[in-house]
Amino acid sequence: MQNEGWNLENTYAALPEIFYQNQEPEGAVSPEIVIFNQPLAKELGLNPANISPDIFAGSRLPCGANPISQAYAGYQFGHFAMLGDGRAVLLGEQITPKGDRFDIQLKGSGRTAFSRGGDGRAALSPMLREYIISEAMYFLGIPTTRSLAVATTGVDVMREKTLQGAILTRVASSHIRVGTFNYISAFGTKDDLRKLADYSIWRHFPDLENKENKYILFLQEVAKRQGSLIASWQLVGFIHGVMNTDNMSISGETIDYGPCAFMDTYDPGTVFSSIDKLGRYAYDNQPKIGAWNLARLAEAVMPLFDGSESEVIEQAKGSIAQYWGSYNKNWIAGMRNKVGILGEEPTDTEMMAELLDLMAKNKLDYTATFRSLPSAQKSPPLIDWHKKWQSRLKNQDENIMLKHNPAAIPRNHHVEEALASAEQGDLSEMHNLLAALSKPFEDSQTYSQPPKHANCGYKTFCGT
Ligand code: AMP
Ligand code: MG
C-alpha cells in the first residue's frame, strides 16, 4: 500500500480502563469524500494523494490506530449526566512532522458503548456545518478543533426525515473535557484523578510538570485559557449554544459545533438553540457560564491540592478570579483593537459600552458596524458617538481595525444556502464560502453583506 503518512500513537488508550472503551467504527456502505482539507492534511504529515475515502467513512482503520470511545460526564444545562462518545471514535494521535500531537476522531461512525438511545450516526448537513464554522474560527485566529474531512457513508440516518449519513474527521489538540474530570471525580479513584491531571498537564501544560503545586497551577492555566477563549467568542459575536461541561475542552479550544451560530443583529440576549428555552447559553451569559463550568472543574481537581480545607477552597476561588482577570483583559484589549484606539484612557470602557448600547437599541449588525465604523459619521444612530470617538482617536489606526474586525463571518443565511446546495450534490457555494472565510479580514462582495431579513427566528439544533 502507498504511504498515507499516518504516524499514530495511542497514549490515551494507555490510561486505565475506566477512561474509555475499545470501539471500532461501524463502517460504511459506499464511502465517498465530500470535502477534504488538503492544507490541514499536509500540516498533519498526511499524503492526500495516497489517501482513500474508506478511512474517513469508517470502513478501514489507518495504520497504527487503536480505536476507542472516550468516557466522560457533563453538566448539561446545569445537571450532571453520564455521557461519553456516543457517536465518536478516537483513532489515535497523529504526530506531525513538526512533532505536534493531534487527536484524529471520527464523529458519526456508529453506535458505541456510550450511545444510550442514539444511533451513533450523523447527517451530512450538520457535519458540513461543523466543517464550515470550525474552519472559520480557525482563520479568525480563535483556538478551535479543526475539520479534516467529511465523508458520506451510504447509510441513511433517520431524523425528522431520512438523511444521508456522514462522518466528520475532527482534529483536536486533545478531547479531554471539563466533563472528563467530572466523570473521574464521580466514578474514579483519586489515583485515576491524578493520572488524568498528569496526562492533561503532559499534553497541554508541559512546563508545569516539575512544578510544586502543579495541580493548582494547572487549574489556573485552564482558567486563563477559558477566559481568553470566551472573550474571543464575544468579540466576534459567536454563540456556542451548548456550553455544557462536556463541551468545554481543557486545551482551551472551541469544541462541539452543534447549535452554535454567529449573531447578525447585535442583541446581547441572542439565543439560537431550539432547546435553550431559558437562554442559559445566550450570548451575554457565555462569560458567566465559563466561570460556572470552571467551578465544576475546580471541584473535581480540588482533592489533588495540598493544604487545609480552607486553603484548598481559597485556591479554587483564586482560579475563578484568574478566569475573570483573563476574560476582562482579553475582552478590553480586543475591543480597543476593534475600535482602533491606542493607549488607555479612563473613559474608554464607557465609550465602548455606549457604542454597544447604541448598536443594540438600533438593531445594528454586529460585524458590519465594527467593520464600517470609520465611515459611520453619516449613520444617524452613530453620529454623536462618532464625533466623540474621533476626538479620542488622536492617533487613529485603521489598520488595527481592519485586522481585528472581520468582513466575512459564517453568516447563517450563507451557511444555510451552502448546505442546501451541498445536500443536492453541488459543493460550489460551500467552496466559495470557505474561500471567503479563509481570508476573513478581506472585504468580500458577497460574504460581507448582512442578510436582508436579519434575526428572523433562526434556530439551531443539537446532536443532528
Ligand atoms: P452534544 O450535545 O453533541 O454534546 O452531545 C451530547 C451527548 O450525546 C454526547 O455524549 C454525544 O456523544 C451524544 N450523542 C449525540 N448524538 C448522538 C447520536 N446520534 N447517537 C448517540 N449518541 C449521540
Ligand atoms: Mg458534545
pLDDT tens digits, 355-372: 999 999 999 999 999 999
Mean per-residue pLDDT, 118-125: 98
Q: Given a cut of 90, is residue 59 above it in pLDDT? A: yes
Residue 120 CB–ligand 1 contact under 6 Å: yes
Provide the annotated active-site residues.
246
pLDDT value at residue 399: 85
pTM listed for this prediction: 0.97
Mean pLDDT over 327-345 rounds to: 94
Judged against a pLDDT cut of 90, whether residue 2 lies above it is answered with no
Nearest listed ligand to the Cα of residue 77: 1
Indicate the DSSP class of residue 364: -
Higher pLDDT, 51 or 442: 442
Question: Cα(26) to centroid of ligand 1, in Å?
Answer: 16
Model pLDDT, residue 457? 82
Q: Which ligand approaches the C-alpha of residue 242 most closely? A: 1
130 close to ligand 1 (CB < 6 Angstrom): no
pLDDT-above-90 percentage for the chain: 91
Q: Which pLDDT does position 1 carry in this prediction?
A: 63
> What is the pLDDT averaged over residues 102-129?
98
Average pLDDT score over residue span 277-292: 98
pLDDT one-digit tens code per residue, 198-213: 999 999 999 999 999 9
Tell the residue nearest (CA) to atom 23 of ligand 1. 86
Percentage, residues of the chain above pLDDT 70: 99
- For ligand 2, the distance from its centroid to the CA atom of residue 232, given in whole angstroms, is 20
> What's the whole-number mean pLDDT along residues 374-391?
93
Task: Give mean pLDDT, residues 14-43.
Answer: 97
Q: What is the mean pLDDT of the chain?
A: 96
Ligand 1 in reach of 242 Cβ (< 6 A): yes
Alpha-carbon distance of 335 to 324, in angstroms, equals: 16
The residue nearest atom 11 of ligand 1, judged by CA position, is 86
Q: Is 165 helix (H, G, I), strand (E, B) or coil?
A: strand
Could you give the angle at the alpha carbon of 134 between the alpha carbons of 132 and 140, nearest 5°? 100
Give the number of the ligand closest to the Cα of residue 114. 1
Residue listed under C-alpha cell 433562526: 458
**Is it the case that residue 395 has pLDDT exceeding 70?**
no
At 254 the pLDDT is 98
Nearest CA to ligand 1 atom 8: 86
pLDDT digits (tens, 9 = 90+) for 408-428: 999 999 999 999 999 999 999
Tell me the pLDDT tens digit for each residue of 215-268. Answer: 999 999 999 999 999 999 999 999 999 999 999 999 999 999 999 999 999 999
Please identify, by atom number, the ligand 1 atom nearest to the C-alpha of residue 85. 12
Q: Flag whether pLDDT at 192 surpasses 80.
A: yes
The CA–CA distances, whole Å, from 395 to 4, 21, 339, 371, 386 equal 53, 59, 12, 18, 15
Of ligand 1's listed atoms, the one at least distance from the Cα of 88 is 12
The residues, any chain, with a CB within 8 Å of residue 249's CB and separated by 6 or more, are 145, 172, 174, 175, 176, 177, 178, 255
Cα 88 to averaged position of ligand 2 atoms, centre (Å): 10
Tell me how crowded residue 11 is: count the other CB atoms within 10 A of its CB. 14
Q: Is the CB of 256 under 6 A from ligand 1?
A: yes
Residue 455 has pLDDT above 90, yes or no: no
Lowest-confidence region among 175-184, 322-331, 441-450: 441-450
- DSSP secondary-structure letter at 87? S
Confidence bin at 396 (pLDDT 50/70/90) = low
- Closest Cα to atom 12, ligand 1: which residue? 86
Rounded to whole angstroms, the Cα distance separating 330 from 366 reads 19
**Whole-number CA gyration radius for the chain:** 22
